[in-house]
Structure 1
């Protein structure tokens, strides 16, 4: 490689999305959401599931088909886990078969969105935490398929993995022939390896401009009487 490339300077942009660990989850997203359900009985309004009290519960109409409850988070999130509390007085078995569905569609009232889990064996008054593996969605639904069903939820909490987004610009010098795609790709791959070692999990590398040699700046000499 000729010495004429030793001082070439280049720039690359790094567009990053870093997911924090579950220990760094955001606050309970359900607190800022809106709720609705298929029907209401015994004063069991839909918002009771997010009023922070495990002693106030929702209640759909008695023995209906496919009862459901939906939480609108008002924005799309990567949902790491959903926390549910069953009713404390009786009939804990009624929650058996309840499906948790998460997604961005309101087709069939949101009940056709991808399924996170199916609940079984949640005892009377018991609270459980269900991992949803960072499923993306605005709506969190509970639905019990079948006839003659009752859906009661006493506390629902939704947590999302923190996502940090940003842009970094890196300037560097190289003696490589960066006009050669093989060489420029090699540099990006080396940067990728370095970023992964620094804890970045999702990111995109892109040239801010096509690699090209930057000529050294010309420095002016000292002024003389005939120099202006």
Structure 2
């Protein structure tokens, strides 16, 4: 009686998952800004151009606001706002930072993260937003005949990272970078179906090959 055997190749590796946003990346920089009105050349885009000397400036209106569309939803941890360097720092007093996914009332009904007071001229204030989920970041000053002017707005997400240790059988040569990439793409598709979004997968530790010889009647590995 012949006994047949098969050769299984067991691969194991560590996968690092993280959000699309990288640590320390200013999400507002690549966003689309708009404001309720514009005075002169002080356009909404000046708020994300990283220069402390080009500023936004609305006309004198009721409830002036500025908004940046981040183009995707993120769990926002921090918003940094820089006051204008030349005059009138008190104009920023009472400004509310709001974050969310709704454009109702131009986004000004979204969750309030903070209210600003006493930001010195040409200085920045960093507010913690407790990972509020949102695509839109608004700054609004409630009240009659107000002016909203800012010189820089930065938005950051706290990147969440986790590791998955995987063991799997394969007839493929996992030393090939293309095949490793295909495995991650298949895993990403499966996780997306499960409801996860806005993440990336990378190999933290490349797969290691282990050869296991087993009987044909043992189907636990082959």
TM-score, length of structure 2 as denominator length: 0.64
Q: Does 1:131 align with 2:128?
A: yes
Q: Does 1:33 align with 2:35?
A: no
Q: Does 1:50 align with 2:51?
A: no
**Consecutive unaligned residues in structure 1, runs of 5 or more:** 1-15, 172-216, 221-228
Pairing partner for 2:144 from 131, 147, 152:
147
Quote the offset at 1:167 in angstroms: 5.7
Match of 1:179 in 2: none
Query: Greater strand share, 1 or 2?
Result: 2
Pairing partner for 1:70 from 64, 67, 71:
67
Give the 5 Å matches for 1:39-188. 39-62=37-60, 64-164=61-161
User: Is the deviation greater in 156-165 or in 39-48?
Assistant: 156-165
TM-score, length of structure 1 as denominator length: 0.63
Change (3 A) 1:165 1:106: farther
Match of 2:207 in 1: none
Query: Rg larger in 1 or in 2?
Result: 1
Runs of 4+ aligned structure 1 residues displaced above 6 Å come to: 16-19
Change (3 A) 1:29 1:219: closer
**Secondary structure of 1:109's partner?**
helix
**Secondary structure of 1:108's partner?**
helix
Partner deviation per Cα, 1:31-50 (whole Å, 9 max, x = no partner): 10000000000211000010
The count of corresponding residues between Structure 1 and Structure 2 is 156
Aligned equivalents of 1:77, 1:51: Cα separation in 2: 21
**Secondary structure of 2:139's partner?**
strand
Change (3 A) 1:17 1:132: farther
